[in-house]
Amino acid sequence: MISTQDYSALPDAAALKSLCKALAVLDAINSQDWEYRYYSYNAEWAEGEEVLTMRDGEGDEMLILFRPEGCVINGFLHEYDQPAKGQVTRGLPAYFDDFMFGEPVNSIGTTFCLWYTAEHGWQTGVVESEDDGSEELLYIFDGQPETYAEWADEYYGEDTDRSPINVGAVAQIYRGEPLTKTMVLAIVDELEDWSQLEEDLQAIGYSYNFG
């Protein structure tokens, strides 16, 4: 499992950005109501910056900032103690400071932090506890379409009669292929608002061709 103890399986910043966009696209299809999505993506967070947001609705959150220099992951799990922020961010490049010590990260909190630069790859600060809950949020980045499909079938499909998600369609989105109506309807049985999905895809910065 991916965690602050072993992050060797995390993809590099460029691949992680593509994966984060894919997760946001899949959630935009599975839940047209933003309020109930786990993953969302803002391709225009700020000039030269893009952000993935993960919220589970129960107090756990993860934000990932992408900049030209690399990316930084802020994770917060409400059932875990927050370590000293100066420790978990020790060695953090200064260009990530505004994000990690500003809003909304400062108000959300930080239980773990990882960052990637082309020069040094993935790094973390001082990890005081082997169990900081990081694998609970980072497991989704294993790059396996089955991982998302299994999670989404349980989260979005529990107590419903919707069909299981087509793993092949998830794989197409993981590969960054332009989204088509056929792909969408392999994820969900029907889509209520195609215009809303187009708006979401534009915000994510993901290509589509609905014909």
The whole-model pTM stands at: 0.96
Q: Which amino acid is at 155?
A: Y
**Does 5 reside within a domain?**
no
**Does 3 reside within a domain?**
no
**Does 211 reside within a domain?**
no
Is the pLDDT higher at 169 or at 161? 169
**Does 181 reside within a domain?**
yes
* Res 157: pLDDT: 83
**Does 2 reside within a domain?**
no
CA 54/CA 77 separation, integer angstroms: 11
For 196, the domain range is 13-204
| Number of independent structural domains in the chain | 1
**Does 6 reside within a domain?**
no
* Res 57: pLDDT: 87
pLDDT for 159 beyond 80:
no
**DSSP H or E segment with residue 72:** strand 70-76
* Res 179: pLDDT: 98
pLDDT for 109 beyond 90:
yes
pLDDT for 110 beyond 90:
yes
* Bridge pairing between strands 49-55 and 112-117: unpaired
What is the average pLDDT across 110-132?
Answer: 93
What Rg value do the Cα atoms of the chain yield, rounded?
Answer: 17
Indicate the average pLDDT of the chain.
95
